[in-house]
Amino acid sequence: MTEHNKRIAVVFPGQGSQTVGMMNELAEHFEVIKATFDEASLALGFDLWEITHDETRLHQTKFTQPALLAASVAIWRIVKDKLDKQGISPLYLAGHSLGEYSALVASGVVSLSDAVKLVHERGKLMTNAVAGMDTQMAAVLGLDDEQVVSLCDDAKDQAGSVNAANFNSPGQVVIAGTQVGVSHVLSAVENLGKKAVPLKVSVPSHCELMNPASQKLAELLADTSFHQAQIPVIQNRHAEVHRAVSDIKTALTEQLSMPVQWSKTMQKMAEQHIDLIIECGPGNVLSNLAKRQQTPITALPTDKLARLEKLEKLHES
Domain boundary (202, 223, 245) is at: 202
Positions annotated as catalytic residues are 97, 206
Q: Do 98 and 41 sit in the same domain of this protein?
A: yes
Whether residue 1 lies inside any domain: the answer is no
User: What is the CATH classification number for the domain harbouring 151?
Assistant: 3.30.70.250
Question: What global pTM score does this model have?
Answer: 0.96
Dihedral (CA of 267, 269, 274, 276) sign: negative
Alpha carbon separation from 42 to 18, 47, 70, 259 (Å, rounded): 21, 8, 12, 32
Q: Quick one: pLDDT at residue 316?
A: 61
Which of 284, 256, 265, 235 lies closest to 167 in space, CA to CA?
265
pLDDT per residue, tens digit, the chain (317 aa), is 334 578 999 999 999 899 999 999 999 999 999 999 999 999 999 999 999 999 999 999 999 999 999 999 999 999 999 999 999 999 999 999 999 999 999 999 999 999 999 999 999 999 999 999 999 999 999 999 999 999 999 998 888 899 999 999 999 999 999 999 999 999 999 999 999 999 988 899 999 999 999 999 999 999 999 999 999 999 999 999 999 999 999 999 999 999 999 999 999 999 999 999 999 999 999 999 999 999 999 999 999 999 999 998 776 65
Is the residue at 2 inside a domain?
no
Residues 90 and 229 in one domain: yes
* Residue where a domain terminates, one of 202, 229, 260: 202
> Where is the domain boundary, 202, 226, 260?
202
Domain containing residue 43: 8-129+209-316
Kindly report the CATH number assigned to the domain that includes residue 42.
3.40.366.10
Rg, Å, the chain Cα set: 19
First to last CA, the chain: 15
Same domain flag for 198 and 213: no
Q: Compute the distance between CA of residue 245 and CA of residue 226 in angstroms, rounded to an integer.
A: 6
The residues pairing with 234 across neighbouring beta strands, listed in sequence order, are 241
